[in-house]
Structure 1
Amino acid sequence: MQGLSFKKTLTLRKNLPLPSAPGEARIRVSLAGICSTDLEIAKGYMGFHSILGHEFVGVVEAAPDQAWIGKRVVGEINAACGGCCFCVRGMRNHCSQRTVLGILGRDGSFAEQLSLPIQNLHLVPENLTDEEAVFTEPLAAAFRITEQLATRPEERVTLLGDGKLGLLIAQVLKDRCRLVVVGRYPERNKTLEQWGIQSLSPDQTIPLQHLSDIVIDATGSPKGFDLAQQLVRPQGTIVLKTTCAGRPKVDLAKVVIDEVTVVGSRCGPFAPALEALSRKKVDVRPLITEVFPLKRGKEAFRKAAERGTLKVLLRP
């Protein structure tokens, strides 16, 4: 088996053993997506040194429950112990003993096969292509915001970032609030307009009376939080979706003075993500930049890191 691994540098490793773990399914990866988190791990984020990747769609090759064999699946990335104080409270994504696919203590999806617990798997609807299904995990992260915040139609919500995740979040929220996307790429304004979403550039001034009830940072930049603080109203809410390898200096005085609520937001629910994809409520086709074979994984990473690139996919 081959896999794209990181340890100081990216390396395509060959002759790897097939993954195997008690109680887990072994999945042949059909397609995997390069996420901004993968790019940050390659800069040192999380200190992870193994096979990268956590977005995937694949087919079950082996499983303790024979009914899963041959099924096309996607998988939640947090493998929980099931018995710690967080698991028993239903907080499996925050399990104190968890491993995380391609991020923490568990080989990821940039390989020909991977292993995950059966309880992490979700069947892919037949009307979805692999190219659509591979977006389930990041789309679930977008839906996590709807679990954490009950947005109202009259609320002003500013979304910072028109990258891969930002464009998914925009589609999830567009009918739930008065949404404005602040992005760096003017060429994406047309796509946002087709979706019925207003967009602004970062240098366009937002009047004081139009400060947002909620600001979502999906910039992928350490500077995103500073901009969010400028745009949120007193007693408003900032949602943080950005993870970075660096440790930026943050001035929290405005958070205290303006009594701003800060919400961290990470992994989300797969069921509404799959439903939205199946019902064509979310369009992921404009987000795919290029598909590479796994053997050209290092080239794929270089492409994914280029300014203006959206989703780069790997086909093992």
Structure 2
Amino acid sequence: MKVLYFEQKITLKDDYPQPKSGEALVRVRLAGICGTDLEMIRGYMDYTGVLGHEFVGVVEKSNNYDLVGKRVVGEINAGCGRCTYCSSGLERHCPQRTVLGIYKRDGAFAQYLSLPEKNLHTIPDSISDEEAVFIEPLAAAFEIEEQIRIQENQKIAIVGDGRLAQLIVRVLKIKNKNITCFGRHQNKLHMLQKMQIAAKMGISKDDEHTFDVVVEATGNESGFSDAIKLAKPRGTIILKSTLASKGNLDFAPAIINEITMVGSRCGPFRPAIEALASGVVKVNDMVSAVYPIEEFEKAFEEAKKPTNIKILLRP
């Protein structure tokens, strides 16, 4: 089968063996390139293997016959199923876990992938393939409200205007109206303004230390500094970026202002699926282009461009 294999650089292999793990075998229909994939190429997680973790596909083989032929998305963390984390529903923190396209498990930039049946979620017909690719990162956006309780009168800042930041805004605005997004790209900020979200290019003096909750979703170190600058004393910062940088971050202002920091990663799939199926969250405007897997070099070039939002691959 065809895959995008990463070992210091990405190459297209057309003779890679299909997964034979005893798990569900999924034929991938579409896969999305995200910020984590770009960080993996720069050295994050020191990974070798097939990249990709945002996908939609069709189950071709499974011990659960009800899944065969169904269109699915999949949770990316596969735990051991025996430890205390797994027994409490926190497979994403299992010490023995594998992570699709990120850690010890081949990913979705391939014609086929495998995952445990319990990781798979069937998709209703009302959700297109293009929309379904967003379910994994959309679930990560829903995770914020699983971790902290945001009061109706609290001010929220989103630092960043890219793929994940756009999804976070779409989720948080369901219940919260006082949201400001700080970005660097006029076209992306315009997308937010069309949703009646306050969007700013840069931080003014009047913005500093005025927000109760700040979500950092830039994918770069400067985003952390901006989040510190925006959070009020004893405010909360949600950290969403995964960075391969070895640079030094200054935590002193966070300590002085007694800021609470919350690392936030994967999230619940069911709310994400329901939000797309009901139309409460719309993502069609976020697809910039779709490329066949053979044109991966062009796809990754486009994914790196700040003017684009989401680039999809068709294996």
| TM-score (normalised: structure 2) | 0.97
Percent identity between the two aligned chains: 47
2:187 alignment counterpart = 187
Say whether the 8 Å CA contact 2:27–2:111 is kept in structure 1: yes
Say whether the 8 Å CA contact 1:152–1:176 is kept in structure 2: no
Q: CA deviation at 1:228?
A: 0.6
* 1:233 counterpart letter in structure 2: K
Say whether the 8 Å CA contact 2:185–2:306 is kept in structure 1: no
- Say yes or no: does 1:83 pair with 2:82: yes
- Which residues of 2 match residues 10-159 of structure 1 at below 5 A? 10-22=10-22, 24-159=23-158
1:204 alignment counterpart = 204
- Give the 3-state SS of the residue equivalent to 1:298 in structure 2: helix
* 1:199 counterpart letter in structure 2: A
Rounded Cα–Cα distance in structure 1 between residues aligned with 2:260 and 2:107 = 34
Count the aligned residue pairs.
Answer: 314
Q: CA deviation at 1:89?
A: 2.9
* 1:13 counterpart letter in structure 2: K
- Say yes or no: does 1:315 pair with 2:305: no
Say whether the 8 Å CA contact 2:77–2:91 is kept in structure 1: yes
Q: CA deviation at 1:300?
A: 0.8
Q: CA deviation at 1:138?
A: 0.5
Q: CA deviation at 1:251?
A: 1.6
Rounded Cα–Cα distance in structure 2 between residues aligned with 1:72 and 1:162 = 30
Rounded Cα–Cα distance in structure 2 between residues aligned with 1:231 and 1:204 = 10
Rounded Cα–Cα distance in structure 1 between residues aligned with 2:53 and 2:299 = 16
The Cα offsets for residues 129-181 of structure 1, whole Å up to 9 and x where unpaired, read as 10111100000000000101111221001000110100000010113331100
1:8 alignment counterpart = 8
Rounded Cα–Cα distance in structure 1 between residues aligned with 2:194 and 2:93 = 37
1:253 alignment counterpart = 252
Q: CA deviation at 1:74?
A: 0.2
* 1:81 counterpart letter in structure 2: C
Rounded Cα–Cα distance in structure 2 between residues aligned with 1:49 and 1:262 = 31
Rounded Cα–Cα distance in structure 1 between residues aligned with 2:85 and 2:170 = 31
Rounded Cα–Cα distance in structure 1 between residues aligned with 2:300 and 2:145 = 31
Q: CA deviation at 1:207?
A: 4.2
* 1:43 counterpart letter in structure 2: R
Q: For structure 1, list consecutive stretches of 5 or more residues without a partner in the other structure.
A: none
Rounded Cα–Cα distance in structure 2 between residues aligned with 1:70 and 1:266 = 30
Say whether the 8 Å CA contact 1:151–1:176 is kept in structure 2: no
Q: 1:234 to 1:203 in 2, by over 3 A?
A: closer
Rounded Cα–Cα distance in structure 2 between residues aligned with 1:175 and 1:65 = 35
Q: CA deviation at 1:102?
A: 0.1
| TM-score (normalised: structure 1) | 0.97
Q: CA deviation at 1:194?
A: 2.1
Q: CA deviation at 1:203?
A: 4.2
Rounded Cα–Cα distance in structure 2 between residues aligned with 1:56 and 1:185 = 27
Rounded Cα–Cα distance in structure 1 between residues aligned with 2:43 and 2:100 = 16
- Give the 3-state SS of the residue equivalent to 2:156 in structure 1: strand
| Aligned-residue CA RMSD (Å) | 1.2
Rounded Cα–Cα distance in structure 1 between residues aligned with 2:264 and 2:14 = 36
Q: 1:6 to 1:179 in 2, by over 3 A?
A: same
2:238 alignment counterpart = 239
Q: CA deviation at 1:122?
A: 0.2
Q: 1:129 to 1:270 in 2, by over 3 A?
A: same
Rounded Cα–Cα distance in structure 1 between residues aligned with 2:111 and 2:244 = 27
Q: CA deviation at 1:310?
A: 0.9
Say whether the 8 Å CA contact 1:11–1:298 is kept in structure 2: no
Rounded Cα–Cα distance in structure 1 between residues aligned with 2:250 and 2:203 = 21
